[in-house]
């Protein structure tokens, strides 16, 4: 790449738990000879995704090429966080060949696109493409409204009824902004679910979009890198619910961090998280736990009542064996005391 060539950036967006971190991990392991850099923007104070990716670091994407922004949506903190981070990555020696940006699951991609029009960076970088990940099972189940059947019936009876929810707007804006959609976890959805998900995506897309099934985050990098979309120059083709709105925020969503004492059995913690999703309408849980008698830290990732966990690394010699879980939900569903009582039931060891 010559000095006058623009550095390509790929924005990877998608609903909560759709598999963005898994995809980037796979790209890091198979970079096709490109030297990658990664920006991770998390919603929450516990840097789960960034630490996972740093654990996957390889010579073509070393740990110093992975930067986290955990104190707000990057499209809301452009001058303070986003621009300095991009400039720092461009100043690395050797310079990255390609930057990947993993947005928060709550982020709207179009405001982030607008950030690439800032004079300080516009002549130096270009948005190679916007990749939207969609969880096939969740999309097929219509989890972007509290009761899809009831909403459809109300809309049929009265077109003036506002049937949108914050989750549906996030999903639709991500699809509308995308150059390609990756349909993740197709095995959980099954053939019928995959087809239904594709129909929903096609109905929401403002233009025909390629939809690629991606099991376990595996996709040939040539499919999603090198698109040459120059998305920052193509704003009008990417409509958003928030077009014409000067600013946006994420007040519809809230997160809390729950400290966890040591747990006796991971299955007990999984059961608590499943109960939380059902009783409190929690969207996302992610973080770490300490398991009694185990030298390894337990990584926990949950989307609704679907919980995955694995031991990711040993506890460090002087590191407190204290777990932490980030819990994310719509604002009205966050009840700190109720959530804590489920995750840390009465009689648990004192913190």
What pLDDT, in 10s, does the model give residues 256-303?
A: 889 999 999 999 999 999 998 888 878 778 888 999 999 999 988 787
SS (H, E, C) the chain: CCCCCCEEEEEEEECCCCCHHHHHHHHHHCCCCCCEEEEEECCCCCCHHHHHHHCCCECCECHHHEEEECCCCCCCCHHHHHHHHHHHHHCCCCCCCEEEEECCCCCCHHHHHHHCCCHHHHCCEEEEEEEEEEEHHHHHCCCCCCCHHHHHHHHHHCCCCCCCCHHHHHHHHHHHHCCEEEEECHHHHHHHHHHHHHHHHHHHCCCCCCEEEEHHHCCCHHHHCCCCCCHHHCHHHCCCCCCCCCCCCCCCEEEEEEEECCECCHHHHHHHHHHHHHHHCCCEEEEEEEECCCCEEEEEEEECCEEEEEEEEECCCCCCCCEEEEEEEEHHHCCHHHHHHHHCCCCCCCC
16-20, 26-30, 61-65, 205-209: least confidently modelled range: 61-65
What pLDDT, in 10s, does the model give residues 41-76?
A: 764 444 444 454 444 444 554 555 566 555 444 545
Closest C-alpha to 342, from 260, 254, 255? 260
Highest mean pLDDT: which of 33-47, 89-103, 241-255? 89-103
Geometric angle at alpha carbon 48, from 46 and 52, rounded to 5°: 150
- Cα separation, 316 vs 319, in Å, equals 5
What pLDDT, in 10s, does the model give residues 105-134?
A: 666 788 788 878 777 788 889 999 999 999
The pLDDT assigned to 71 comes to 47
Closest C-alpha to 308, from 328, 329, 289? 289
- Would you place residue 244 in the very low, low, confident or very high pLDDT band (cuts 50, 70, 90)? low
Confidence check: pLDDT of 246 > 90: no
Q: What is the pTM of this model?
A: 0.65
Residue 102's alpha-carbon distances to 30, 108, 124, in angstroms, are 17, 12, 20
């Amino acid at each position: 790449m010559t000095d006058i060539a623009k550095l390509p950036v790929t924005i990877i967006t998608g609903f909560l738990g759709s598999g963005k971190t898994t995809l980037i991990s796979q790209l890091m392991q198979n970079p096709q000879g490109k030297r990658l850099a990664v920006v991770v923007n998390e919603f929450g104070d516990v840097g789960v995704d960034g630490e996972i990716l740093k654990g996957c670091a390889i010579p073509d994407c070393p740990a110093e090429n992975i930067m986290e922004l955990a104190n707000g949506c990057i499209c809301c903190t452009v001058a303070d966080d986003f621009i300095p981070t991009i400039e720092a990555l461009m100043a690395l020696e050797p310079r990255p060949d390609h930057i990947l940006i993993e947005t928060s699951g709550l982020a709207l991609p179009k405001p982030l696109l607008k950030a690439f029009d800032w004079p300080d960076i516009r002549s130096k970088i270009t948005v190679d493409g916007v990749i939207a990940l969609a969880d096939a099972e969740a999309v097929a189940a219509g989890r972007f409204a509290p009761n899809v059947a009831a909403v459809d019936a109300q809309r049929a009876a009265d077109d003036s009824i506002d049937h949108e929810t914050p989750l549906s707007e996030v999903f639709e804006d991500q699809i509308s902004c995308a150059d390609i959609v990756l349909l993740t976890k197709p095995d959980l959805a099954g053939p019928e679910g995959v087809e239904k998900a594709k129909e929903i995506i096609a109905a929401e897309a403002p233009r025909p979009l390629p939809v690629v099934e991606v099991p376990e985050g595996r996709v040939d990098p040539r499919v999603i890198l090198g698109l040459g979309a120059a998305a920052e120059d193509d704003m009008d083709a990417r409509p958003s619910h928030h077009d014409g709105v000067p600013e946006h925020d994420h007040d519809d969503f809230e997160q809390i961090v729950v400290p966890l004492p040591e747990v006796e059995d991971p299955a007990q913690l999984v059961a608590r998280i499943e109960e939380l999703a059902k009783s409190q309408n929690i969207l996302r849980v992610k973080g770490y736990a300490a398991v009694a008698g185990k030298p390894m830290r337990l990584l926990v990732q949950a989307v609704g009542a679907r919980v995955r966990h694995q031991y990711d690394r040993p506890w460090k010699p002087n590191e407190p064996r204290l777990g932490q879980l980030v819990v994310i939900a719509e604002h009205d569903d966050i009840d700190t005391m109720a959530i804590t009582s489920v995750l840390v039931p009465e009689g648990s060891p004192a913190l």
